[in-house]
């Protein structure tokens, strides 16, 4: 499974890269707003910094507007992936961009049927938001194996990119279900590495070393 970082903070991206396991980046207008920097500056820097896919989101809600924005975003780098909302106009734009050879990430997916529509429109990635479903009292993760089964049933090449990841259990379950990608905040990257027995074992090794080193 590939790991993307969900951020627009360049320092966080560099920290995740230092772990040697980062495959790409996803962003959105809210994340870029948190950076406190102009959108174009942030987008260009991230595209140059990361060799893998960088998802940049449109803000238009009509197909023509999405296509116009996508044309500008695609110029930031060959690794740009256009994020589109899972609405009718977004599906129209997805189909047209796919026909042009531009990669897409259809976002704000909350059901397997929505994921099916995105795949039929040619989406490169589908982003089911598991954490937001959890927030409203549903089991957000249950849709991931369902999407996997649907895609496998019909041979869709759209990659399942699990988004709105809140904790390591989401990552664990995504990997078990055969998701292609998990996009996670830096906090979760750091939590994945941690285990109390690792810390305890390392402390013991270091203590023993102090007693035997020359």
Active site amino acids: 83
Ramachandran area for residue 111 (φ above 0: left; ψ -120 to 50: alpha; else beta): beta
Q: Which two tokens stand for residue 135?
A: 């927030």
Rounded to the nearest 10 degrees, how much is the dihedral formed by the CA atoms of 125, 122, 146, 30?
Answer: 40
Question: Within its chain, how far is the Cα of 211 from the centroid?
Answer: 46
In degrees to the nearest 10, what's the CA dihedral of 27, 33, 38, 42? -30
- Please tell me the distance from the alpha carbon of residue 214 to that of residue 153, in angstroms, as a whole number: 62
Please give the biggest Cα pair distance in the chain: 72
What is the Cα–Cα distance from 121 to 114, expressed in whole angstroms? 11
């Amino acid at each position: 499974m590939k790991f993307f970082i969900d951020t627009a903070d360049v320092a966080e991206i560099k920290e995740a890269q230092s772990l040697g396991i980062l495959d790409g980046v996803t962003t959105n207008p809210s994340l870029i707003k948190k950076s406190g920097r102009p959108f174009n500056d942030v987008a260009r820097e991230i595209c140059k910094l990361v060799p893998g896919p960088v998802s940049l989101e449109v803000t238009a809600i009509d197909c023509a507007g999405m296509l116009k924005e996508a044309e500008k975003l695609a110029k930031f780098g060959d690794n740009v992936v256009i994020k589109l909302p899972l609405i009718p106009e977004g599906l129209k734009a997805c189909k047209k961009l796919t026909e042009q050879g531009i990669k897409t990430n259809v976002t704000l997916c909350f059901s397997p049927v929505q994921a099916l529509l995105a795949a039929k429109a040619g989406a490169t990635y589908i982003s089911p938001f598991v954490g937001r479903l959890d927030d409203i009292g549903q089991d957000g993760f249950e849709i991931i194996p369902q999407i996997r089964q649907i895609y496998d049933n019909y041979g869709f090449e759209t990659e399942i990119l699990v988004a709105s990841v809140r904790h390591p259990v989401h990552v664990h379950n995504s990997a078990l279900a055969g998701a292609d990608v998990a996009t996670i905040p830096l906090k979760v990257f750091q939590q994945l590495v941690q285990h109390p027995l690792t810390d305890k074992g390392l402390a013991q090794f270091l203590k023993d070393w102090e007693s035997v080193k020359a």
